[in-house]
Structure formats: C-alpha cells, structure tokens
Structure 1
Amino acid sequence: MDSQRREFAIIADYFQRRAGQSTGSTLSENSKSNFRRQRNDVLIGIGDDAAVVTPPPESRIAVTTDTMVSGVHFDENTSPRALGHKLVAVNLSDLAAMGAEPAWVSLACSLPEVDEAWLKEFTAGLFAALDYYHCELIGGDMTRGPLTLTLTAQGILPLERCLQRRGAQPGDRIFVSGTLGDAALALAGLQGKLELRDATIDELQKRLFYPTPRVALGQLLRNQATSAIDLSDGLAGDLKHILRASEVGARVNLEALPASLAFRANLEPQAGWPLQLNGGDDYELCFTVPESRVGLLESLVRQAGVAVSCIGTIEAQQGLRFFHQNKEVQITGSSYSHF
C-alpha cells in the first residue's frame, strides 16, 4: 500500500466514526457503513478538504488550540488512552474558562510510525471524551515526524455572555473549583521526588492523566463571574494573568486552598502549598465573583453538584500576596513555563 493510501486508511480506520461503531473499535476502509454524525450542526466533517458547521443563531464561536509533545508534556510510558482523553480535556478546559459549550474539534498529529495498537488506544480515549461532552471530530491533518498531538476545539457562546480574564474588581471574591495539587503530587511521585502512600497513588494519577474539564461550571458562571481562567500552569501563575488583565491585585488565604484526602494523606498543609500554587495540570477553574452574588453562586453550584472554594479577595493594590492566619508569607517557586 502506497504512503498516501496508507494515510487515508489510517484516517478511515481510526478517526472516521460510522453508524454502529463503538468507541475504540475500527472498521476497514472498504466498509460500506454510513458515516455517523455526532452533532446535527456538522454539515460536512472528515473526508473533505474542509469541514462545514452551522452555529446557532445569535451566537459566537470560541476557539482554542493546545499541543502535547512527546518528551515535553508526556513520556513514552504514558498510556495512549490517557493521551487521547487529556488532549480533549485540556482544550475543553480552556472553553470552560470562557463559558463556552464545546461543539467541534480538529486534530493534527505527527506520528513516528504506524502503530495500530497505539492508535486504537489513543482514539478510544479521544472519542470517549468527545462523546461524553457531545463534541465531534470534524477534521485535521496527519504527517510523519516526532510524536506531537495538536487539537483545536471550538465552542458556542451566546452573544454578550463571554467570560474573560479581565473584569475582576476590588472586593470580588476569588474562587477555585475542585481541589488543587493532585496532578503535581502524582508527577512528583512518578519522578521519584516524593514517596507516595500506596493507597493514594491511583487517585492522584487519575487526576494527572484523566483531568475533568469544568464545562458545566463554566456555562453556569456566564451570568455570575467577573473574570475566569483555567488552571493549567499553576494557581499562582494563572491568577496573575487575571490580575494583569484586570489591573488589580489579590490576597490569597493559604489555609483556604482546597486539597483532596489523597493529597492530605501525603503532605502536611504547609508542605503542600508550593505544589498547590505552582504545580499545574489541575484543569480547575479560578474565577472572581462580586460579594453580592456569592450567595447565589453557592446555591447554583450546590444544585449543579460542583465543589467550589473561596480562597481570597481581589484588591486595588496590584500584586499577588499570600497570607496564613492573617500574616503575609512568601512562597518560593514559580508556575510552569513553556520556555
């Protein structure tokens, strides 16, 4: 089989969904089954020179792109199923921070070789995540090269309902969803920097390899939050993006940082703060809410079954300051940087 035909066969076998096809299964390129559309707003998907979609009236489109590179974001021992899931999750987390409803994704990847077992597992993770969030893969590109995975995700926003990093005001309360530090702690364990309790390893590694984008929470926040960002590089660094965009400062109360039981089982609170602030890979949302809306927010998130924690306050004085029992403290380290 020539190289071009082999490329099309890979696309047909692993990336085009067909009627009756379950997540992770494959069909030969000669299958006569009809292509299956996950969404009615996809007019033309994979198989043409470009995809065609129809967004709802009175809406806008949010677009984000994220790349995962072998040897930088993951190593050769990482499960391909986890890579497929995480590639979707990190992009949808960006859409969640904008308050967008995920809709369509396109995938570009370079592969060093055709490994069918790897492709089957990778696409199983990819499509399981896409199906869960009602997204459709509508196109992309494939080439030979070092293992690199790039996903572009597009989401739908109602007019004038977009969350942004700017907009935080002095007096706003600072919230985060979920818990912080689990993924960083799992990575430290895998790298041999810390010895973790055996009973906690699976839970911590799940947070690292299978993060949960806060899609429903992001949409709920469209009418409540003044600013928002997703926590990919670490709370301290990501919160600074909000502060710079909004031209404000913040006070963060370290004792309020939410930690899971697995995290607490391995580290005392003060020892865990650097990981919670700088570790990254949490994919939770950090957002600001006026004090007058805090009660409504807490009622809404309870109904939605989402845990959020108030960790501080926006201040007029610029800069990010950390406090423990009302005394200012210094935290060493910095959030993740790509360069």
Structure 2
Amino acid sequence: MTAEFDLIALIRARAAALADERGDVVLGIGDDAALLAPPPGRQLVAATDTLNSGVHFAADARAADIGWKALAANLSDLAAMGAEPAWCTLSLSLPAGEAAARATFVEGFADGFLELAARHRVALVGGDTTRGPLSVCVTVLGFVEPGWALRRDAARVDDDIWVTGTLGDAGAALALDGIDGYREFAVRRIDGVDADPAVASARLHERLRRPQPRVAAGRALRGLARAGIDVSDGLLADLGHLCVASGVGATIDAAALPASRALAAACADDARRALQLGGGDDYELCFTASPNQRDPIARSLAASGTPAKVIGRIQAEPGVRVRLADGAAWTPPRRGYQHFA
C-alpha cells in the first residue's frame, strides 16, 4: 500500500457500514464531494477542529487514541450547541516514510475514530489525504431544531453556571508527563491516600487520551439551558468567551468545582483548582440557565447519564472571577490554553 488512493480505499472500506446504516448519505467517499440529505425542518450545525502532532497529541501517541480524540473534539462542539451529530469529513496529513508503517497508522487511527463514530452514529462521508507533518482535520455536521441551539450569546445576569462531569484530569495527566506549559501546576504526587496510585494515573491519562463528548447532555439541555460552550481550552478561558459574547461577567465558587478522586489524589488544593480552571482538554460542557430550571436540568441530565453541578453565577460586572469558600478572591496561574500566546 503506497499510493494516496490505496489509503482512501482502506478508510472507505472501514467507514462504509456507518454510511449505509444512516440512510441519509446519498453519495459518500469516492467522488469529488458527498451528497447528503438533511432532514426537513432542521438547521444544519457544522464544526471543524485541527489536531497537530506535538501540539494536541504527543509524537508517540497511539494512532487509535489520535483518531478517537480528533473526532471527540469536534463532537464536543456539536454537543455544546445541543446538536445531533450526523456526518463528518476527515483530512489526514501523513509524513513520508515506509508504506507499511503508514498503512499501520491509518488502520489504528480508523480503529479509534470509527469506534467513537459508531457510538454516535456519525458517518464518515469524505475528506482528503496528503503528505506532510502529521496533522488531522475533522469537520462534523449535525442537526438542531430551529431556535433550540445553545449559543454563547444568550447568558443572562443571575443565571446559574453549570459544568458537566469533572474538570482537571487531562491537565493533570499532561503535568505528570512533564509537558511544557503544565509543569507550573505542581502535580508532584499521587499519594495513594484516596486512590491507588497506578489506577489514579491511568484514569487521568484515559481522560486525556479518550475524552467523552457530552452529546447526550447537549441534547438533554435543549429548551432548559440558555447559553453553552464546551470546555476545551480551560474553564476560565472558555467561560470568558461565553461571557464576552453575552455581554456579562461571572463569579465561580472554587469549592463547587467537581473533581475526580484521581485528581484529588494527584495534587494539593491550589494545584487542583488551577487545573480545574485552566488545564484544558476536559471536553465537558459549561452552560448557563435560570435558577428556576435547576430541578428540570438535574432530572434531564440524570436521564442522559451525565453528572453536573452548579459552580457559580452570571453577573453584570465584566470578567470572570474565582472565590474561595471564605469569600476571598483567588487568582490561578493561568486562565487557559492559547495557541499563539
């Protein structure tokens, strides 16, 4: 297997079953473009993310984990809009080298990518392959009912601020690995008091390698939440984007931030808070809603199997602030990841 079209044929063969199963793919991989049949009465939702070697994943990362994460990052964006995923395209830039190694990588990549795609019934319908530095670009397409999309610009003063799942695990894994930009978080121990060290480390790294996009939660929040965003660059950074779009500010209760047992075992209070607020790679949802919606939201998210907590309040004063249990302000070492900082 040496040619570009051999690699495309490999991917097409692996992806065909999902496209056939959906029934709304008129023409998939193999032509100049795909022909798709959106359902009537729905708005189309599109999102694109690029993952590069050495930035979004380590050079020695497993191909299956790269494939999973490349799709998960995009599905998380759809989840933040309350959308139902449907289709995706994939562009792969692959380094020159031995043909066998290239084919092995593509097979492994497809294992992770298509495993997650099957969970969410996402059909791969096109894309591109080219020679160059290892890079993955995915575009996902989905549907949402008109007027029901969660947007960044809809938060209101006195809204509750919610977050799904737990925060900080992926950042802790990066810190344990000594990755540049994460050494400052002082994750120096997994002490075994609250968790077995080996198990805790494995769980942190699993959150980094295989994030779980909150698609079911996003769908469950339609008609209940006002504004939403996915937490990929860090809670403070991403909530800040939502606040700017909505023309509001926010105060976060540090004591309310949800932490896994693995994270609690890995670091002391200040490092844990710093990771929860600015670590990134969590792919959880942050959303706002009226306090009157607390019980309906709790019931709806429980039905979707998604844990979530209220962690703060939207306020009129611009900016995002963090308060400790005693009311004192707390400033983290950073507010989130920035590509060109």
Structure 1 residue runs of 5 or longer lacking an equivalent are 22-34
Residue pair 1:68, 1:74 contacting (<8 A) in 2 also:
yes
Give the aligned partner of residue 199 of structure 1. 199
Partners of 1:167 and 1:191 lie apart in 2 by 38
Q: What percentage of aligned pairs have identical amino acids?
A: 42
Between 328-337 and 203-212, report the one with greater CA deviation. Answer: 328-337
> Structure 1 residue 110: deviation in Å?
1.0
Residue 39 (1) aligns with residue 26 (2): no
Please give the TM-score of this superposition, normalised by the length of structure 2. Answer: 0.91
Deviations 1:109-160 (A, max 9, x none): 1111341211111111111111111000000011111111100000111111
1:138-153 aligned at under 5 Å gives the runs 138-153=125-140
Residue in 2 that maps onto 1:228:
228
What amino acid is aligned across from residue 11 of structure 2 in structure 1?
Y
Q: Which residue of 2 aligns with 1:50?
A: 33
Distance 1:322 1:18, change over 3 A: closer
Q: Give the counterpart letter for 1:46 in structure 2.
A: I
Shift of 1:231: 0.2
Identify the residue that residue 84 of structure 1 maps to in structure 2.
67
Could you tell me how far 1:263 is from its partner in structure 2? 0.4
Superposed, 1:178-217 pairs within 5 Å as: 178-191=165-178, 193=183, 194-195=187-188, 196=190, 197-217=197-217
| In structure 1, distance between residues paired with 2:58 and 2:162 | 33
Compared CA separation, residues 270 and 75, structure 1 to 2 (3 A) = closer
Q: Is the 8 A contact 2:83 2:218 kept in 1?
A: yes
* Whole-angstrom distance in 1 between the partners of 2:105 and 2:61: 11
Counterpart-to-counterpart distance in 2, 1:161 and 1:291: 19
- Maintained 8 Å contact 1:38/1:135: no
Provide the residue aligned with 1:24 in structure 2: none
Task: Show the counterpart of 2:11.
Answer: 14
- The residue that corresponds to 1:335 in the other structure is 336
SS in structure 2 at match of 1:251: strand
Closer/same/farther in 2, CA of residues 284 and 36 from structure 1, 3 Å limit: closer
**C-alpha contact (below 8 Å) 2:49/2:139 kept by paired residues:** yes
Q: CA RMSD in A?
A: 1.6
C-alpha contact 1:17 1:36 (8 A) present in aligned 2? no
Q: What pairs with 1:207-286 in structure 2 (closer than 5 Å)?
A: 207-286=207-286
SS at match of 2:236: helix
**Residue correspondences, number:** 322
Equivalent in the alignment of 1:31: none
Given that 2:87 and 2:125 are in contact with CA atoms closer than 8 Å, whether structure 1 keeps it comes out as yes
User: Structure 1-normalised TM-score?
Assistant: 0.91
Give the secondary-structure state (helix, strand or coil) at the position aligned to 2:202. helix
Q: Which amino acid aligns with 2:109?
A: F
Offset at residue 84 of structure 1 (A): 0.4
Deviation of 1:15 (Å): 3.2
**Alpha-carbon distance change, 18 to 183 in structure 1, aligned in 2, over 3 angstroms:** closer
Distance in structure 2 (CA, Å) of the matches to 1:116 and 1:9: 9
Structure 1 runs (4+) greater than 6 angstroms displaced = none
Whether the 8 Å contact between 2:15 and 2:123 is mirrored in structure 1 is: no
Give the distance between the partners of 1:294 and 1:86, measured in 2 at CA: 31
Contact 1:252 1:321 in 2 (8 A): yes
Contact 1:253 1:323 in 2 (8 A): yes
